[in-house]
A and B are shown apart, each in its own frame.
Chain A
Amino acid sequence: MDEPSSSADTPLWKVVELDQFHTPEKTQASQWRRSLRSVSSWLGGKSDAEHQVKGESELRRLPEVRLAHLVPPIDWAPAASALALELDGQDAPVTFFITTPYSGHVAVVRQWAEKHNIACVPTPSLSELAAGGTEWVEQCAHHREWAVPALERCFLRHTQGIQGIREFLERALSGRLGKGVIGCDSWTYAFLQRVMGLDGAPAFTLQSMEGEQLSRYFAMIAGHGGQPPAVYSTRSGRQLLPDAETKRNEKAPYKELQRLAAHCRGHIGLAWHYWRERLREPTESEEEGLWMVDALAEAELAADTGDIATLVLHALLIHGGLDDHSLGEVLPFSHHEALNARLALQRKGIVSSYEGRWQVAPLSYANVRQLLESRNYLVDPL
């Protein structure tokens, strides 16, 4: 992994080879802080660990309309263009583009394919996967060039469920299916790498963003090309987005957003969810400006989380989300137990429904990843 660059003119969207990916500065410190917080809440119960300049009671959530204006959905087109630049020089039969959950590999590969008039292979149905069917693989054979935006939708972790993807990858990697680009969740990639071996194919990902880049990005989407509104941190009271003065002096305070970047391991998709969920406005109408409540205050996983919950979370991440029926199929206990565990996690806010599937909630992702890593489960390379 390379040393991170701290240059202020670093492009926001940079596609790099997987082994060039590096986490933002202070990521390790962020993990230690999370562990410490977990231990202290375990020993002494949950408490407001840090002093806040502005209390949450003085703030309220923004109306949906205003929130949609200030934090619009991420436009992945620049990332698709950056991917196109990297793919131009590629001769390999298959190229992977991987990102963490919520970080846009599906949208990026789909947009890239649309722009280049390349066919996207439809994902197989769950019943086809459960039966070990390989008909969907033939869809690729009809095209000289093709794209699979979400490889995580093409397998289930059981003996039948991996037959189709195995045949697909064997044929694709050997070049028998022409040339393709595969978008893949980073957890699925880690799993398939161990199960089938993907070392022969080049893999790209989005480079992590530092605090300065997050600050620029949030200012850009909130300002719509003009001056962004003033956003302050409830923790420090400092302004988070650079105004004209700080831009000129190049002394923009990125400490808070660097904390967020480190917490999200530099993944813009996760940071966007935090930004959207944590923006508040003062209850007093005469006060101006917006506030971002403490970025690290999230749904926490207890240190003594049981094996069943851990296995459910791991299965959800490996598959990029699952419905209840499929979840029961890939876990070594009854559907009833799997459902119970999923409901308990949902109640705590650790899993949520996203695009019709249960997934680890974006604000819990960092905690869940750290828990799984500490318990020796397979984790993603990002």
Chain B
Amino acid sequence: MEEEQKYERLFNDIDSQALITLGIVLLSAIVLIIVSQRLLNWVGNRMHGQVRFRIFAMVPMTRLLILITALAIIVPTIIEPSLRNMVTVMGALGLAIGFAMKDYVSSLIAGVVSAVELPYRPGDWVQIEDTYGEVKHVGLRTVDIQTPDDDLVYVPHLKLWDHAVYNANNGGTSLQCVASFYLHPEHEAGWVRKALRDVALTSAYLTFDKPIVVVAEEKPWGTHYRIRAYPVDPRQQFLFITDLTLRGKQVLSASGVPSAMLPPDAALDTRNAVGSASSRGVG
């Protein structure tokens, strides 16, 4: 009898008015979330430059604010808001989550963290484990990444807890691209360096706000050159790398600079592929 009275005190009386309120709040939250997400994504996709990223960054934050507001209305409607009641409810929820829905809830919580810490936001180019691509949508449980091969990969937010997230542009427009050239050891290195720099300087995709660096690294099979430069828009990265690679090859071959002859078992240096796309053209 005493136990029954305890539970009665835990929950408010749910009458028809309370049910209508809950229904309206839930429906409004869902509608607001859908409308705000679609509207912000629609506007963001039609913008360019920094404005685009600012609008995209608002997408998860807006959803989080709507959810918190809805919860702030719903919880006191169902539960008598006292410390004792809250501890009881949280304890019960914690037990259920701990046993049954650990990963799901972990992803939801990581989703909240991602909305606050912004390790990725729509428009960013990220690498999580083996997936590299553009963040198209940051959902409640997953982040949707579109790869350059046009696959949409749904990565749960819980990866945030124990995996590195490589963000190539971090909410901005600067994304470093790397074009590699593998040359025979016998060549005039100073000339090649200048020529590759000119290749970058004359690319239509180049942004002049960031530096161009030509890196040369001596290898047992020859010299590995990399042009590190930034395109005007992160979405141009593959076109930019292709442009650098094609024109670089043209300039080098026109000047008679021979390509490196790699032994079949030579392992190419792939370290720099992380966080930025790197061409594999042999110039």
Interface residues of A (CB under 8 A from B): 42, 157-159, 161-162, 194-195, 303-304, 307, 311, 314-315, 330-332, 374-378
Given contacts A159-B247, A159-B251, contact A375 B202 (CB under 8 A): no
CB of A138 to closest CB in B, whole Å:
22
- Give 3 nearest A-B pairs by CB, closest first: A194-B208, A332-B243, A375-B48
- Neighbouring B residues of A314 by C-beta, 8 Å: 204
B46 touches A158 (CB 8 A): no
**B188 interfacial by beta-carbon distance below 8 Å:** no
| Nearest opposing residue in chain B for A332, CB measure | B243
Supplied contacts A332-B204, A374-B49, A375-B49, 4 more A-B pairs, CB within 8 Å: A158-B202, A304-B46, A331-B204, A376-B209
Bound complex: CA A181 to CA B251 (Å): 33
Given contacts A314-B204, A376-B207, contact A159 B199 (CB under 8 A): yes
**B173 interfacial by beta-carbon distance below 8 Å:** yes
B205 touches A376 (CB 8 A): no
- Neighbouring A residues of B199 by C-beta, 8 Å: 159
- Neighbouring A residues of B209 by C-beta, 8 Å: 376
Bound complex: CA A195 to CA B251 (Å): 18
B48 touches A332 (CB 8 A): no
| Nearest opposing residue in chain A for B232, CB measure | A376
- Neighbouring B residues of A42 by C-beta, 8 Å: 46
Within 8 A of A (CB), among B91-113: none
Which of A158, A311, A332 counts the most B-chain CB atoms under 10 A from its CB?
A: A332
Q: When each residue 182-212 of chain B gets 1 if its CB lies under 8 Å from chain A and 0 otherwise, what string results?
A: 0000000000000100110111110111000
B202 touches A157 (CB 8 A): yes
**B233 interfacial by beta-carbon distance below 8 Å:** yes
CB of B142 to closest CB in A, whole Å:
29
* Count of inter-chain pairs, beta carbons less than 8 A: 53
**B236 interfacial by beta-carbon distance below 8 Å:** yes
- Neighbouring A residues of B205 by C-beta, 8 Å: 311, 332
Given contacts A159-B195, A161-B202, A162-B202, contact A376 B243 (CB under 8 A): no
- Neighbouring B residues of A331 by C-beta, 8 Å: 204
Within 8 A of A (CB), among B69-109: none
B198 touches A162 (CB 8 A): yes
A330 touches B204 (CB 8 A): yes
- Neighbouring A residues of B236 by C-beta, 8 Å: 307
CB of B229 to closest CB in A, whole Å:
12
- Neighbouring B residues of A315 by C-beta, 8 Å: 204
- Neighbouring A residues of B195 by C-beta, 8 Å: 159
Return 17 A-B CB contacts under 8 Å, by A number.
A42-B46, A159-B198, A159-B199, A159-B202, A162-B202, A194-B208, A195-B201, A303-B46, A307-B236, A331-B204, A332-B203, A332-B204, A332-B239, A374-B48, A374-B51, A376-B49, A376-B207
CB of A314 to closest CB in B, whole Å:
7
CB of B188 to closest CB in A, whole Å:
16
Bound complex: CA A376 to CA B198 (Å): 21
- Neighbouring A residues of B207 by C-beta, 8 Å: 376, 378
| Nearest opposing residue in chain A for B48, CB measure | A375
Bound complex: CA A270 to CA B243 (Å): 35
Bound complex: CA A342 to CA B208 (Å): 25
Bound complex: CA A110 to CA B126 (Å): 54
- Neighbouring B residues of A161 by C-beta, 8 Å: 202
Bound complex: CA A8 to CA B47 (Å): 41
Bound complex: CA A194 to CA B46 (Å): 29
- Neighbouring A residues of B46 by C-beta, 8 Å: 42, 303-304
- Neighbouring A residues of B233 by C-beta, 8 Å: 307, 375-376
CB of B239 to closest CB in A, whole Å:
7
- Neighbouring A residues of B232 by C-beta, 8 Å: 375-377
Bound complex: CA A354 to CA B207 (Å): 28
| Nearest opposing residue in chain A for B230, CB measure | A376
| Nearest opposing residue in chain A for B51, CB measure | A374
A311 touches B204 (CB 8 A): yes
B48 touches A376 (CB 8 A): yes
CB of B257 to closest CB in A, whole Å:
13
Bound complex: CA A331 to CA B247 (Å): 11
Bound complex: CA A162 to CA B48 (Å): 30
Bound complex: CA A76 to CA B122 (Å): 52
| Nearest opposing residue in chain A for B173, CB measure | A376
CB of B169 to closest CB in A, whole Å:
12
Bound complex: CA A162 to CA B194 (Å): 12
Bound complex: CA A315 to CA B206 (Å): 12
Within 8 A of A (CB), among B1-46: 46
CB of B155 to closest CB in A, whole Å:
28
CB of B234 to closest CB in A, whole Å:
10
CB of B134 to closest CB in A, whole Å:
15
- Neighbouring B residues of A157 by C-beta, 8 Å: 202, 204
- Neighbouring B residues of A162 by C-beta, 8 Å: 198, 201-202
Partner of A158, one of B49, B173, B242, B247: B247
